[in-house]
């Protein structure tokens, strides 16, 4: 099991208003789920577009831990450690 500590969370522009306008915030926890829970406690509503009501990642959001897509790891149960970086990227749809 990895150590608990501060994890950097890169916040996309569209969600920054929910975290005081910051591009990067810190979260704590042993798993991605715990880090997002920590953010939700400190910034209510900040994870509404990341995690659905069932507690899973929203379909149209991509989350990476240290550049690795968590969907190919353990999703929200992906372990994190102090110094890790979580990047949240909303999927962009396009077309004509």
What pLDDT, in 10s, does the model give residues 49-81?
999 999 999 989 999 999 999 999 999 999 999
* pLDDT for position 25: 98
pTM metric for this prediction: 0.89
Confidence tier at 1 by pLDDT (50, 70, 90): very low
Domain annotation covers residue 1: no
Element (H, E) at 38: helix 32-42
CATH code, 36: 3.10.20.30
Q: What is the dihedral angle through the alpha carbons of 28, 32, 33, 38, rounded to the nearest 10 degrees?
A: 20
Domain range for 28: 6-90
User: What domain count does the chain have?
Assistant: 1
């Amino acid at each position: 099991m990895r150590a608990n500590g501060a994890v950097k969370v890169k916040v996309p522009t569209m969600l920054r208003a929910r975290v005081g306008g910051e591009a990067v915030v810190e979260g704590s926890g042993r798993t991605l789920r715990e880090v997002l829970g920590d953010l939700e406690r400190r910034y209510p509503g900040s994870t509404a577009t990341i995690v659905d009501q069932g507690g899973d990642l929203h379909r149209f959001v991509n989350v990476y831990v240290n550049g690795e897509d968590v969907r190919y790891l353990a999703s929200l149960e992906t372990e994190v450690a102090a110094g890790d970086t979580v990047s949240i990227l909303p999927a962009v749809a396009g077309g004509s």
